[in-house]
Structure 1
Amino acid sequence: MLAIAGFATALSGPLQKGNTSMFAAERHARAERAQLFAKTDPLIAKLQRGERLSNAERRSLDLDHTRIAQLNQEIAACQEARELSAEAGRAMGDSPDSGARDDSAESRAFTAYLRSGVRGPELRAAGEASGSAGGYLVPPGWWQRLQVALKAYGGTAADFQQIETDTGQPMQWATNDPTTTVGVQQAENTLVSNVDYTFGQGTLGAYMFDSGVQLVSLQLAQDSAFNLGAFIMARVAESLGRAQAAAAISGTGSSQPLGIIPALNAASTTGSGGKYTLGTATKVNVAGATGTTGASQITELIGGTLSPASWLGVLKSVDMAYRSLGAKWYMNDTTLQNTRLITNGFGDPYYPELQDDTKPKLYGYPVVVDNNIPNLTASTPSGVIFGHLESAMVLRSVRGAGLMRLDERWADFLQVGFIGYRRFDCRSNDLRAATVVVPAAT
């Protein structure tokens, strides 16, 4: 349930007012980040000269880097929120400077339905969901913007192969493993041998997910200056997006979508995708750490990161044929930040290209941050995923998300409830294309 009273002041004005506050928050975050960069520059220069930092300097640098990472997330969130508001405004036709306004009769009818519950003929023509709760299919423009917003909350699922269908009936598709099929040299005037391809079959369902009830006061719902469409879309997108992102990572596949970690854990062993099981955990040089064998060494699992040899082992476990298609690393922010702290024998960052927070890379492959991925845990598939996920996994979505407006349930609070819902499923496709890490016990 949303605390609507807290939103009244912030959201009752025009959309531009909300954007102005987001701009201010972003400016403050950027200013603080610039100050921290200036503060850390002398320490970074000292490391680059090969000089060692004192314990106090190291702690200060670690704290500043942690804060910079938090500010980067805040800045990204502000940018995402502004973009989402702009997209939503254009979708609902509320942005006066938009060149791509959706002024269709269907869109206007849907906006009227959100505000007042009036069910115009255009909306009925678009399709009414079954039941008596007033559920309707969202118009195409609203659905397209919702799709954009959903991707913002699931960095990993966004890289799955995407399939959209009009209905949610079970869907079969063929799978094939061609890796054992190799061409042969053929002698002149000899019979060419037959090649038999073995196909498998997978089934995609369509599980129902809802956003939970999003409550809005009648005053806000009726306020012509309040962009109700943008507000509802943002809340629905966030809720459904987070549900999809979590299912795509950890879904068991039993009466629910199959997440990539359970899928890879049930697949093959080291060397051909599936899961990469580490050997005995080794020691890693980490800036500012205190370990059992030295002031700058910790066991790789305890540090929430892997040793350089382990990173390379994970990379090598995915065949180059898949790596060349556009493989990526997937990890949560804790793993990323701890990996940035790995140093060489001179105290310098071991992975310079990983320090770029806007486009981090590891061994030349992009890094995607998804905090639905669990931390490294001994003997449990977790922490790091690597591969070409468009080959490894498929995400099936049913077109036409629905929205219900509940007028009676919270009437005595002078509130209206909205429930967004959609159907999707995730299944594995070619798990040779990706690997998940299974860390060793320390």
Structure 2
Amino acid sequence: MSLTELQEKRGRLMTQAREALDEIKKNTDEARAAELDKRHDDIMAEFDKIERTIEREQKMADVEARFAARQEEERARKRPKGEDTDTRGQEEGAAIEYRQVFYKFLAGGADPSFLEPEERKILRAGAAPKEAEKRIQSVGTTTAGGFTVPTELANTIIKSMKAWGPMYDEDICTTLNTATGNPIKVPTVDDTAVTAEKHTEGTALTDDGGKDVTFGQKSLDSYGYDTEFVKFSLELARDSIFNMESLLGQLLGERLGRIANQELTVGDGTGDPNGIVTASSLGKTAAAAGAITYDEIIDLIHSVDPAYRQSPKVRFMFNDLTLSAIRKLKDGEGRYIWTMGNVQQGVPNVLLGYNYSINQAMANIATGNKTLLFGDFGKYFVRKVGSPLIGVLRERFWPDLGIAGLIYFDGELGDTAAVKHLIQA
């Protein structure tokens, strides 16, 4: 099924789901209402499946395009330099690409002796002479196979981490990238309630300290998390037709993404980041333990100062089961408060005109749980220390290989009034 066909099916499912809910009237008997409610949920489950398929198809098209471009680069590199020479491969004087050496390193069982002296030098340096890029060294020793990370692999890991949770995404939160892990201090201030005063001609300005700016300070540290080892066979590394950078990036990125999103969401700040749910302040307490109403969502929105509601990073955040409940809510005029967007045109789904993010680290609707967040997520700071670190071991898993990833980060909400939560009764 093409992307266009998938989009059309997605729209039809949305129409069918709304028709099912619209059939439920005040005088509809319980059995029929339950049947229509189940039909709506089944349709929306298929709707979500179609959305995931569309996303996968688009990602696959991107990967195929990159792979085709890489193949063309390889073919161009292997063409003869001219009619008077038999030289194929790299052009004379051209540097050996780091990526090629990294592949060769894996294909040789992560054995440095498999490489030429010049290749080992490039692998240790992490960059070809013509491309003096700064690369982060892994914690492994060279004898154990710990070398630097190809830039494309690091980027793939980070991209996969974003896909597994919104809290590592710089488009949602404010990110600070540092080369070292030394603690950094972030000044905080909430001046939204303070105004200027009317001035009377000839009257001295008040200087009693009543309107001094009150600054605070929070620390962003460096907490490390690892993937444990991802094992794969020597034969796979040597003979695989897959793009190894994409494969390894997805494996390591998914593991790092889960833990990063979890800690940046619900971490308690004791030996780990202060998660945004933990750091947020109370905006609204729901009347019921197992439900959320339209009016309560409105109250949550207006519990946040209008100055924060105008931020380009203002949004809702909740998990997928909470979204399922919200999709059925209507306003006083019988209109659904959830609005479907358009993936093809880049228009996101919205809730009461605001964007939202699905975060599976957030709690389900149940007694005492903080189920909805709303506010300016730009006031949540995610500190990223360097790039992902990669270690490769062969002796421990011989003849197979083991690759592990390691990242360092921290998170803190600069102003607790900027993001508020709804908690169930």
Once residues 260 and 377 of structure 1 are traced to their aligned partners in structure 2, the CA distance between those partners, rounded to angstroms, is 19
Q: Deviations over 1:163-210 (max 9, x none)?
A: 000011111221122234321222334433455322222111111111
Separation of aligned partners in 2, 1:40 and 1:234: 35
Instruction: Describe how 1:28-47 pairs up with structure 2 within 5 A.
Output: 30=6, 33=9, 37=13, 40=16, 43=19, 47=23
Aligned match of 1:439: 424
- Give the Cα–Cα distance (whole angstroms) in 1 for the partners of residues 371 and 283 of structure 2: 12
Structure 1 position 110 matched with structure 2 position 102: yes
The answer to whether the aligner puts 1:280 opposite 2:287 as a matched pair is yes
RMSD: 3.5
How far 1:71 moved relative to its partner? 3.1
Deviation at 1:35, TM superposition (A): 10
Could you tell me which residue of structure 2 aligns to residue 186 of structure 1?
199
Gaps of 5+ in 2: 78-94, 113-119, 127-135
Instruction: Answer yes or no: is 1:63 the counterpart of 2:48.
Output: no
**Corresponding residue number in structure 1 for 2:319:** 332
Please name the residue that 2:375 is paired with.
387
Counterpart Cα distance in 1 of 2:73 and 2:26: 54
Distance 2:150 2:373 in 1: 36
Return the TM-score normalized by structure 2.
0.77
Is the contact between residue 156 and residue 246 of structure 2 (CA under 8 Å) also seen in structure 1?
no
Residue in structure 2 matched with residue 366 of structure 1 by the alignment: 355
Q: Deviations over 1:62-111 (max 9, x none)?
A: 3223332233234334434554x458759xx845379xx9x973333333
- Partner SS, residue 107 of structure 1: helix
Quick check: which has more Rg, 1 or 2? 2
Identity %: 23
- 2:309 equivalent in structure 1: 323
Question: In 2, are the aligned partners of 1:137 and 1:401 still within 8 Å (CA)?
Answer: no
Alpha carbons 1:160, 1:394 under 8 Å: kept = yes
Q: Which residue of 2 aligns with 1:418?
A: 403
Amino acid at match of 1:388: D
Structure-2 separation of matches of 1:143 and 1:217: 22
Any idea what the Cα deviations from partners look like across 1:354-407, whole Å, max 9, x if unmatched?
Answer: 344852212211121122211122123x2111111111x110001132111110
Preserved CA contact (<8 Å) 1:114 1:228? no
Q: Which residue identity lines up with residue 381 of structure 2 in the other structure?
A: V
- Structure 1 residues 185 and 80 mapped into 2: Cα distance closer, same or farther (>3 Å)? same
Report if aligned partners of 2:174, 2:381 keep a CA contact under 8 Å in 1: yes
Number of residue pairs matched? 374
Q: Is the 8 A contact 1:204 1:396 kept in 2?
A: yes
Instruction: Provide structure 1 residue ranges, at least 5 long, that are not aligned to the other structure.
Output: 1-23, 265-273, 282-300
Whether contact under 8 Å (1:163, 1:397) holds in the other structure is yes
TM-fit CA distance, 1:278: 1.6
> Using the alignment, how far apart are the partners of 1:231 and 1:179 within structure 2?
48
Matching of residue 144 in structure 1 with residue 155 in structure 2: yes
Deviation at 1:147, TM superposition (A): 2.4
Q: Which stretch of the first structure deviates more once superposed, 44-53 or 217-226? A: 44-53
Q: Match for residue 391 of structure 2?
A: 404
Deviation, structure 1 residue 41? 7.8
Residues 137-176 of structure 1: matches in 2 within 5 Å? 137-158=148-169, 159-176=172-189
Q: TM-score, normalised by structure 1?
A: 0.74
Q: What SS class does the counterpart of residue 225 from structure 1 fall into?
A: coil
User: In structure 1, how many angstroms separate the alpha carbons of the residues matched to 2:194 and 2:96?
Assistant: 54
Shift in Å at residue 149 of structure 1?
2.5
Q: 1:357 to 1:44 in 2, by over 3 A?
A: farther
